[in-house]
């Protein structure tokens, strides 16, 4: 797990610690001896793809720096019901106090990875990239996008700061796609890519002429997309966007677009069922 | 909204700001003039109960300190599809940059409040209290519990620090319910309540004798619960817990328990559909 | 020492460091070689009970992470004039720079523990608990309450946040004890206890009927307390409060109250005389 | 009150807030309406000198930014039993929640100022300056030294960082007073004064020759001090130190020393009795 | 000035405050009355381009929040010796305490802007963009790059995080330009541009085939650059780099490269001479 | 390197890290394996005096905590072109990512030390001390003053807080040198020295009578300085200041002043040319 994602998880863990543990787990700390060790496992209760084990490990390690942690199915692995995902030994206190927080992270991220892997299966053999969006829960941007990668898909921009995305409101203010692109080109560092949202072929044409790096085809029919791809003719990268469902993406991919972005990857996450069991 | 909940929202907003806005919304900031004002509304796209408007307001106010904000359906209000929830005027920049973050908070919290209000309707006329649990997303404890209150239900303990909850693991380590309660009584301030988890009538009896303040009936049948209520005979408060569904809670409440705790209140949140529209 | 108390001590140490050491002990750092080691002892200069050794250790360890620390009379121990309390080896610099700060903490906390132990001796054989109050110096709440426990007494609530304490002002605003208790019961989580302050038997009666968890008998005569105990008849816990002196507490305890709270435990602390001596 | 002292008080207030108020005064916040205003007074219950009113004001203002605050006896004023010290109007909540914290600060600081003023009276008409020491409670250095000034006395160095103080341990390591002074002179900025502790006339002589800026006469008899003053003959400033009691300081001052430092100014503080009363 | 640059300046101001003012300007605070107001001007002592006035304003406003500030020659303006740049009124204390810190910022940034404007004059009429580099003093990245823009030039990437720059070391590890570009393409978000450093035409050819977004011509002769431009033929953007002096850049620009990056823009800054004068 | 200087460097490093590395060196992290180790050297490209090696080491150690670092020419050493200054082994990633930041610090500080050593050579054999000034870049006060010491010169006051420096503005407000000195003497702790700026012999005379600890001779001719030295006659320390150039300082020193302060020591720094080379 890259350091920025792990750091983001640590910040969320600190919030979870403050709100859930605060001055201490007064039940466990007053009843369980500090030095008693136990071994536990994480077990999959359904099929899916795992993401978030380094976060779960971090949760327990924050509570017991001597934690022994062994991953059986590391992030990105396919699991089946009943598979042991990780086995770990630490203080009994850490295992009891950390359990729910570790699972909360792990189940959400594995849910995202599982859905992303389903999308990737749909477009197998095609050169399209599946992208996520900015529809992530506040505070979970890095984690959710990490899980997307674990499922085999790719990341769109991380936020409003690292890429220009010119939408209808911006175009209206600027007085057209071309003036919008020109105005912004002068103001951003040379490292920044410019994407323009379009909803018809006339706008696509204007975006090409404006020199957009990427052109988004927003809520277009597959037929219109195919025409747009032809019109653009490699002069810009192409992103298909808007109500992309599992069922539809193969057809969209076949139009020749470079990217398909799917809000549902992170917006409506069905947690993957995972449980912790103390085995010794 | 109480100050601790609002402060928690501000911390999450800061995370959202850092991850989504960072050094700035480079598209909007470079195309939309800073002083241009617009008016927008939040509109319900389905029936439900609203929670989180002060958080949405905070998001926009952080981006425009002169925001004019008017709540039509304040937190706790029932809304119907098409109802305007709030109307607000601020810089066009703030409305564009803040939109998704505001909606993310508002939709999640309204979803929780809506579900809580459904639970309350189920037990109308009975003296039972509906409680939430610790099954909240890391970082969202205060917000989720606030939404539960907006829906008319009540809060269980806030974390592992503000109440003793003796579970099977703890009992096993202590060598029984009685030794567990006695050991802990000496170690915590006199302000702390002690709850004991039980799964059969023998344990209930032991918990009574140990002087527990609250006895949890965990995963018991309604029949066993009724017996437990009789056995306890007002010597402790009683909480019913475990797989509490909307369908089942009225029957459980009829056994005479004081509280029913429902993980689903905050664990599996279906966001309430709400959208933002610029009207002027 | 529990982690929250130690953390509180660390914060106060940081303040002490900033105000006393700041950019460095320019005398010692410029004259004493960094690697020179010395051994010192803490010695009791009068009889008492020790509290705060982990804080003293922390002070020196912050200045020398390789400190060797041996406690001869750990926290809670009775000491006599001349007893060695702890012996430790560290850099000469750390011993010279840290001395006064370590003693300041240790002498105050040992003074509190000593006084608490005197109170406990007074009520030996009775089932009453001796409690502290909120009369602690700003910033020293956790440390002072820890010292109280080391002296054998118990802790009342930690602050205004973890228990409801309804006093005369609150009762007046609410329009009586009963409306006050009822109003607040709905607003706080189920984990919170409610105590009501009373100054005569009529108020005690009203508090019983309101269902208070604890009833405080404030500034009552021992005779009135005895009547109150009888009137309450186990329906609530009972706290005696107001001008509790060492001389009086045994008599008060004999009335059958559950708790006696004593402001003087932490309010007027006579430091226990302790000195540091370099022995090698 | 200078900004560094006030800032120090704010840090201690934050600690007090966290430990005493935390997530809120749940009794007051749930029973007293937020907008209800009240007026209160601080009243002296014994004679003394006031110090700390800006800190008390800060406490209430942190809880109610619209506080109206009027000082009748500002810091440094002599008061008599029954005098009103300050009158202030704010929310009832702020007055109830802040009372004890405000008094805690005010009573301690006024106690220090009162004692300092007694010392100053003792040496009236003499040119000596009365100085405090480093014997202040961890975290209270700035506040305590401010109170000393309010009582009319002066401040010694603030910590180990802003002046060189060569004591017996340092002299021993350096191999004498002269080598100690010479070694350190080269290592500190030219802005730093150097004081040397001496306990007999031979050491005084050596300190003079080493070019010390200030010579401390530690635990000397008044007779020896008189000789030392003669010996030094204005070549350095002179500080008398060690067991300085109210009774003794006039005699010590008469020996001609420039400064007398008194640990008891801040070490053993008898709080000045002050109470808060709501008057309307 | 954009918010990220101003925020960066505020952080540096805080460091400057801590190291230079600390607990206070003890001379000024003890001699100049707090309420006394004065008016001052900033005057150019040589010709140049101004940058950094919002930072100078911030310095004084931090010391006097009621500062009245009027810019006569805002950032980006050409000034001549003797021109008044800004006129401002604030407390005498703020003007005395803040003077040097304000000038330090203003002189450095104006020096950078002045040099950037000289570069721009050199390439007048050509379509090339002049870029800065990462050779900025630690902590001054945002400020220096802002000054570059005020002088009319543009910004290269801001750091190692917002663009891929594949240098000889990286190429060696990856086993060639092509494998390097391919390996990294899969790992970064789609928003990231990839630049490849080349030092001869063979490498240029390889970079074209690898699909680099930008090709850097490092330390090439103008002749080789002209050939490279021809070879690339618009398939990638082109940056000329390495020992770019004022004298040489017009010739380099004439080869048809898109960008010329100049370390000297920020690396060796000759401060613009500016002084503060109190006029009333 | 003393801890306050190193801590200051760490703060600047954190700024440099945030602005230059941020979420990571995406080129290096995605192409160079994390565990690959390399050895590099720092080499002098011109003659000079080294300062800042502990800062360079800190930079690399922050990026690789297992760094092996060997200093061949520690701070304060004279080096000649081609000398190896340090040799170190760490992860290839750390060496590539940290290089420029390490060099930036090292080159600036060595430049300062080199210039300071030139000044010291000029006054060889005389008892004068060469002092720096407050003309340091915001954020670099501690580092620059450290480099001055490495070059053999001494430090003037560190800021506005640790010494009184009464200038013409202050004298004017106070109504003369004597009232200024007297007013401030009462308000500062006894540890603080007082310096008075003078520009003619009348002012010097007034400063002597006011009892200034140090008298600054500001922008005086060498002849007037010689007279001032005679007039002061050891009753105060003497600092010469104003346009002190390498050429002039020996003559100034010969007048008998105690200190010469030179703004150019830190104000106009010519970086010492140093490069990093990977050798294995």
> For F151-187, what is each residue's pLDDT tens digit?
999 999 999 999 999 999 999 999 999 999 999 988 8
Q: What is the pLDDT of residues B2-47, one digit of tens each?
A: 888 999 999 999 999 999 999 899 999 999 999 999 999 999 999 9
Question: Reduced to 3 states, what is the DSSP secondary structure of residue C87?
Answer: strand
Asked about F47 being catalytic, the answer comes back as no
> pLDDT tier at A243 (50, 70, 90 boundaries)?
confident
Residue A27's pLDDT band (cuts 50, 70, 90): very high
pLDDT range class, residue C44, cuts 50, 70, 90: very high
Instruction: For E5, name the nearest residue in chain B, comparing CA atoms only.
Output: B23
Separation between Cα atoms, residue A30 and residue D139, nearest integer Å: 31
Question: What is C236-248 written as a DSSP string?
Answer: SEEEEESS--TTT
Helices (H), chain A: 3-16, 26-31, 53-63, 92-122, 141-150, 168-174, 177-185, 201-210, 222-232, 249-253, 264-267
d(Cα E8, Cα E11) in Å, to the nearest integer? Answer: 5
Q: In the numeric block, which tokens belong to residue D251?
A: 């005699």
Q: Is the pLDDT of residue C267 over 90?
A: no
- Containing D170, the helix (H) or strand (E) segment is helix D168-174
Give the per-residue pLDDT at F195: 97
Task: Kindly tell me if the per-residue pLDDT of C205 is higher than 90.
Answer: yes
pLDDT beyond 90 at B156: yes
SS (H, E, C) A59-123: HHHHHCCCCEEEECCCCCCEECCCCEEEEEEEEHHHHHHHHHHHHHHHHHHHHHHHHHHHHHHHC
Q: Which chains touch D (3 or more CB pairs under 8 A)?
A: B, C, E, F
Average pLDDT over residues D225-244: 94
Q: What is the mean pLDDT of residues E73-80?
A: 98
Q: Quick one: which H or E segment has residue E193?
A: none
Angle at F124 between CA F121 and CA F127, to 5 degrees: 135
Q: How far, CA to CA in Å, does A214 sit from each of A240, B236, D59?
A: 11, 66, 56
pLDDT of residue E132: 95
The residues of A whose Cβ lies within 8 A of any Cβ of E are: 129, 131, 154-158, 162-163, 189-193, 214, 237, 259
Residue D56: exposure state from Cβ atoms within 10 A (0-12, 13-18, ≥19): buried
Q: Which residues of B touch A15 (CB under 8 A)?
A: 8, 11-12, 138-139
CB–CB of E93/E28 below 8 Å? yes
Q: What percent of chain B has pLDDT over 90?
A: 88
Chain B: residue nearest E4 by CA? B23
Q: Is C110 exposed, middle or buried (0-12, 13-18, 19+ CB in 10 A)?
A: buried
- Residue D78's pLDDT is 97
Mean pLDDT of E3-18: 94
Across D23-30, average pLDDT = 93
Residue E198's SS3 state is strand
Each residue's pLDDT tens digit, F95-107: 999 999 999 899 9
Q: Taking residues D160-170, what's their average pLDDT?
A: 94
Give me the pLDDT at residue D70, please. 98
- CA nearest to E34 within chain D: D2
Place of tokens 């690789």: F64
Nearest CA in chain E to B22: E4
Q: In chain E, which residues have their Cβ closer than 8 Å to the Cβ of D3?
A: 24
pLDDT given at position F135: 87
- Residue D261: beta bridge partners? D131
For residue C259, which residues of chain B lie inside 8 Å, CB to CB? 190
Residue of A8, A11, A14, A19 to mutate for B, most B C-beta atoms under 10 A: A19
Say yes or no to pLDDT of C270 above 90: no
Distance from C32 to chain D by nearest Cα, in Å?
6
Residue of C nearest to D105 (CA): C138
Distance from CA of C173 to the nearest CA of D (A): 6
pLDDT per position as a tens digit, F210-268: 999 999 999 999 999 999 999 999 999 999 998 898 999 999 999 999 999 998 898 87
The 8-class DSSP code of residue F36 comes to -
Provide long-range contacts, Cβ within 8 A and 24+ apart, for D51-54: D51/D75, D51/D76, D51/D106, D51/D109, D51/D110, D51/D112, D51/D113, D51/D146, D51/D147, D51/D150, D51/D151, D52/D105, D52/D106, D52/D108, D52/D109, D52/D110, D52/D143, D52/D147, D53/D85, D53/D86, D53/D106, D54/D1, D54/D6, D54/D9
Question: What is the rounded end-to-end Cα distance, in angstroms, of chain E?
Answer: 29
Taking CA atoms, A26 is separated from A94, C22, C221, C259, D254, in Å, by: 13, 37, 37, 22, 61
Spatial distance between the Cα atoms of A17 and A5, rounded to a whole number of angstroms: 18
In this complex, do D190 and F157 lie within 8 Å of one another by their Cβ atoms?
yes
Using DSSP's 3-state secondary structure scheme, residue C70 falls into strand
Query: Once rounded to an integer, what is the mean pLDDT over residues B165-186?
Result: 94
Pairing of strands B84-91, B68-71: antiparallel
Residues facing A270 on adjacent strands: none
- Other Cβ atoms closer than 10 A to A69: 16
Cα distances (Å, whole numbers) of residue C26 to D237, F9, F164:
20, 20, 20
pLDDT category of residue B264 using cuts at 50, 70 and 90:
confident
Backbone φ and ψ for F57, nearest 5 degrees, come out as -60, -45
Per-residue model confidence (pLDDT) at position F3? 84
The answer to whether B115 and B30 have CB atoms below 8 angstroms apart is no
C-alpha dihedral (D260, D261, D262, D267), degrees to nearest 10: 170
What integer pLDDT is reported at residue A271 of this predicted model? 85
Distance from CA of C4 to the nearest CA of A (A): 6
Q: Which of F7, F70, F121, F167 is catalytic?
A: F167
Residue from E203, E220, E221 nearest E212 by CA: E203
Q: Which residues of C are catalytic?
A: 100, 135, 167, 197, 218
CATH 3.20.20.70 matches E121-267: yes
Nearest to E94 by CA among E72, E53, E62: E62
* b/e map E83-105, b = 16+ CB within 10 Å: bebbbbbbbbbbbbbbbbbbbbb
List of chain D residues whose C-beta atoms are within 8 Å of the C-beta of residue F157: 189-191
- Contact yes or no for F73/F25 (Cβ under 8 A): no
Residues of B in contact with D29 (CB under 8 A): 2
**Average pLDDT score over chain F:** 94
pLDDT digits (tens, 9 = 90+) for E206-237: 999 999 999 999 999 999 999 999 999 999 99
Neighbours of chain B (3+ CB pairs under 8 A): A, C, D, E
What is the band of E2 on the pLDDT scale with cuts at 50, 70, 90? confident
What's the whole-number average pLDDT of chain E? 94
Please name the member of F12, F30, F192 whose beta carbon is closest to the beta carbon of E184.
F30
Quick one: pLDDT at residue D193?
Answer: 95
- What tokens does B258 get? 């004081």
The yes-or-no verdict on residue C120 having pLDDT over 80 is: yes
CA distance D168 to D145: 26
CB neighbour class for F109 (10 Å; exposed up to 12, middle 13-18, buried from 19):
buried
C146–chain B nearest CA distance, Å: 11
DSSP state of B135: -
Q: Is the pLDDT of residue B87 over 80?
A: yes
- Which helix or strand (DSSP H or E) is residue C224 part of? helix C222-232
- Residue E4 pLDDT > 90: no
| Residue F92: per-residue pLDDT | 97
User: B116-142: per-residue pLDDT in tens?
Assistant: 999 999 999 999 999 999 988 899 999
Q: pLDDT at position D271, please?
A: 85
Hey, CA dihedral for F80, F83, F88, F93, is it positive or negative? positive
Average pLDDT over residues D39-55: 97
Strand partners, B39: B89
Mean pLDDT for the stretch of residues C141-166 = 95
**How many CB atoms are located within 10 Å of the residue C84 CB?**
15
Is pLDDT of C149 > 80?
A: yes
Could you confirm whether domain A3-119+269-278 is CATH 3.90.1170.20?
yes
Residue A203 confidence class, pLDDT cut points 50, 70, 90: very high
Residue D56 has pLDDT above 90, yes or no: yes
- Percent above pLDDT 90 for chain F: 88
Under 8 Å CB-to-CB from B65, ≥6 apart: which residues?
none
Which residues of B are identified as catalytic? Answer: 100, 135, 167, 197, 218
Complex ipTM = 0.93
C-alpha distances in Å from residue E140, one per residue of E109, E143, F273: 10, 5, 20
Looking at residue F65, what is its pLDDT? 96
Q: Where are the domains of chain F?
A: 3-119+269-278, 121-267
Give CA–CA dist C124/C153, Å, rounded.
12
**Weakest mean pLDDT among A1-5, A35-39, E42-46, E138-142:** A1-5
First to last CA, chain D: 29
Local confidence band at A113 (pLDDT 50, 70, 90 cut-offs): very high
Percentages helix, strand, coil for chain F (3-state, rounded to 5) are 45, 20, 35
**B25's tokens:** 């919304």
Closest by alpha carbon to A189, among A225, A169, A162? A162
d(CA C157, CA C135): 12
Task: Report whether pLDDT(F196) > 90.
Answer: yes
> Looking at D4, D167, D230, D251, which residue is catalytic?
D167
Shortest CA distance from E269: residue in chain F: F268
Residue B150, CA distances (Å) to A234, B2, B107, B120, F193 in order: 53, 12, 14, 11, 63
Mean model confidence pLDDT for chain B: 94
Q: How far, in Å, CA of B188 to CA of B211, rounded?
A: 15
Smallest Cα–Cα separation from C7: which of B133, A227, D15? Answer: D15
Cβ neighbours of D214 in F, within 8 Å: 190
Mean model confidence pLDDT for chain C: 94
Which 8-state DSSP code applies to residue E243?
S
Angle (CA) C119-C122-C126 rounded to 5° is: 110
How high is the pLDDT of residue F260? 97
Known catalytic residue: D135?
yes
Which has the minimum average pLDDT: B68-72, C202-206, D268-272?
Answer: D268-272
Q: What is the rounded distance in angstroms from the CA atom of residue E168 to the CA atom of residue A154?
A: 28
- Chain F interface, best mutation among E160, E168, E212, by max F CB count within 10 A: E160
Establish whether D23 is a catalytic residue.
no
């Amino acid at each position: 797990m890259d350091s920025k994602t792990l750091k983001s998880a640590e910040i969320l863990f600190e919030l979870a610690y403050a709100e859930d543990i605060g001055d201490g787990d007064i039940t466990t700390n007053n009843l369980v001896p500090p030095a008693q060790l136990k071994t536990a496992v994480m077990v999959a209760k359904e099929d899916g793809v795992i993401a978030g084990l380094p976060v779960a490990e971090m949760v327990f390690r924050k509570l017991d720096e001597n934690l022994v942690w062994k991953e059986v199915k590391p992030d990105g692995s396919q699991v089946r019901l009943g598979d042991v995902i990780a086995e770990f030994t630490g203080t009994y206190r850490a295992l009891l106090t950390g359990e729910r927080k570790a699972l909360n992270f792990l189940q959400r991220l594995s849910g995202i990875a599982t859905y992303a892997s389903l999308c990737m299966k749909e477009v197998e053999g095609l050169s399209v990239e599946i992208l996520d969006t900015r529809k992530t829960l506040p505070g979970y941007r890095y984690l959710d996008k990490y899980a997307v990668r674990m499922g085999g898909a790719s990341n769109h921009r991380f936020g409003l700061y690292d890429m220009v995305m010119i939408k209808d409101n911006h175009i209206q203010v600027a007085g057209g796609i071309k003036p919008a692109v020109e105005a912004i080109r002068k103001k951003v560092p040379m490292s920044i890519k410019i994407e323009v949202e379009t909803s018809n072929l006339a706008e696509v044409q204007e975006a090409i002429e404006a020199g957009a790096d990427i052109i988004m085809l927003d809520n277009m029919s597959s037929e219109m997309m195919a025409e747009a791809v032809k019109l653009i003719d490699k002069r810009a990268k192409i992103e298909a966007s808007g109500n992309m469902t599992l069922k539809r993406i193969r057809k969209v991919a076949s139009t020749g677009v470079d990217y398909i972005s799917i809000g549902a990857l992170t917006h409506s996450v069905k947690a993957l069922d995972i449980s912790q069991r103390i085995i010794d």
